[in-house]
Amino acid sequence: MSLQEDPVQREIHQDWANREYIEVITSSIKKIADFLNSFDMSCRSRLATLNEKLTALERRIEYIEARVTKGETLT
- For 68, residues 6+ apart whose C-beta sits below 8 A from its C-beta are 74
Sketch the domain layout of the chain as residue ranges: 16-74
What is the pLDDT of the chain when averaged over all its residues?
91
Q: From CA 26, how far away is CA 24, in angstroms rounded?
A: 5
Residues 41-54 have a mean pLDDT of 98
pLDDT band at 52 (very low <50, low <70, confident <90, very high): very high
SS3 of the chain: the string is CHHHHHHHHHHHHHHHHHHHHHHHHHHHHHHHHHHHHHHHHHHHHHHHHHHHHHHHHHHHHHHHHHHHHHCCCCC
The average pLDDT across 26-42 equals 98
Confidence (pLDDT) at 71: 82
**Residues of the chain above pLDDT 70, percent:** 88
